[in-house]
Amino acid sequence: MTILVGALLLLLAAGFPVAFAMAGASAIYIVCQGGIPLVVMAQRVTVGVDSFVLLAIPFFFLAGELMNQGGITKRLVDLAQALVGGIRGGLGHVTVVTNMIMAGMSGSSVADATGTGAVLIPAMERAGYPRIFSAALVGAASTIGPVIPPSIPFVIYGGITGVSVGRLFLGGVVPGVLMGLFMMGAVYVVAQRRGYRAIPVMLFPVIILGGIFTGIVTPTEAAVVAVVYAVLLAVLFYRELTPRKLVQVLTTVAGNTAKITFIIASASLYGWLLAREGAPQRLTSIFLSVSSEPWIIFLMINLMLLVLGCLMETTAILVILTPVLMDLITQVGIDPVHFGVVLTLNLMIGLLTPPVGMTLYVMVSLADVSVADFTKECAIFMIALVVVLGLITYIPGLVTFLPNLLMGR
């Protein structure tokens, strides 16, 4: 266990990408341990991505990129402005609502941040909002994407645990709406304090979620349908998706898919070795030695995840820790759907924190601001997200009500 964890930390400290660090640490462990054939590495990384459910990931990525390049995102901004543009701090509220609508289509925080940031940061700047505030708000609002369904992290979690992806999607609806409302509240507070003024397609979620919940399509098939619908809108209706843009979209999606697949594959091997060393049982024993009360267990898990979110890539945390923590939550009686949504929101908060927050670096690059300034300006939105995390952690019905109502217990 010392070799396995120590090698990972050393490789990460040396600057290796997280996927290479996990694969390298696994190889070092296997060589030092001596009792495992090296061919096991190839077998485990293959098994780690051999899942029909995971096929939804590239298609949700593709749907999000098609929206950004095909003019759909700009029209969602217009819709959001019509809905909430007149409230104090109007463009700030437009940013949050746009991301809530986008969340029902792409399932990716980074895709949402890239698409809405490219449109909204310049618009907010022209309207008198500081660029740093605009970047912080877009980055924070994009974390709603993987909580309101569809959600790539929910797909990965469901693929690992066997928990119904449909139930996870339903479980994320109320927490995602709460995230939006609390962030709009934060926007209103900032707008009041600083004097920001007000600045006087929806079939996507219906197609994706309606198809899944009625049993017509699986989550993977729904992602394909979303891509087809996005292409029809962008090419035939809005006529903004040119062949050149399509090549850019496919190139971006190929890169994103390769990256996340490599992380999942490497984390699958690393997680298997952790399980072989008895990490789930050891972690369970450590936690239970403190308390067997579910609320205390949840508090410790949340604190651990918030710290890890500052240090590791979110997909790696999800793939490594999910199997390790399942033994613990089963013993204390925590609902796996409830846990999956809480876990995902924790990871989304991690996307905004240095030194490895992916959304943080996307927004810093888009807005050309410093990491320190972004982090400082984002603090009020992080507080809003942590409050929502506390609510959904300790009021399970906020997560489980809709799945139990629509899909039974």
Condensed to tens digits (0 to 9), the pLDDT of residues 214-239 reads 777 777 787 788 788 888 888 887 78
Residue 189: what pLDDT? 85
pLDDT of residue 206: 66
Q: What is the mean pLDDT of residues 38-49?
A: 84
Per the CB < 8 A criterion, the answer to whether 178 and 103 are in contact is no
pLDDT for 77: 67
- In this predicted structure, what is the pLDDT of residue 207? 67
Q: Which helix (H) or strand (E) holds 381?
A: helix 379-394
Interval 329-381: pLDDT, tens: 998 999 999 999 999 999 999 888 876 677 887 788 778 888 888 889 999 99
Tokens 């300790």 identify what position? 394
Which of the four pLDDT bands, split at 50, 70 and 90, describes residue 202? low
Tell me the C-alpha distance between 161 and 18, whole Å. Answer: 22
Distance CA(355)–CA(375), nearest Å, equals 11
pLDDT in tens, 74-86: 776 666 666 666 6
Residues 135 and 374 sit within 8 Å (Cβ to Cβ): yes
pLDDT at 200: 44
| 238 Cβ neighbours under 8 A, 6+ residues apart | 70, 71, 72, 75
Q: How confident is the model over 132-148, as a mean pLDDT? A: 88
Local confidence band at 392 (pLDDT 50, 70, 90 cut-offs): very high
- Per-residue confidence (pLDDT) for residue 395, from 0 to 100: 95
Give buried/exposed letters for 375-389 (b at 16+ CB in 10 A, else e). bebbebbbebbbebb
The model's pTM is 0.77
pLDDT above 50: residue 298: yes
At residue 389, the pLDDT reads 95
Region 257-285: what's the mean pLDDT? 83
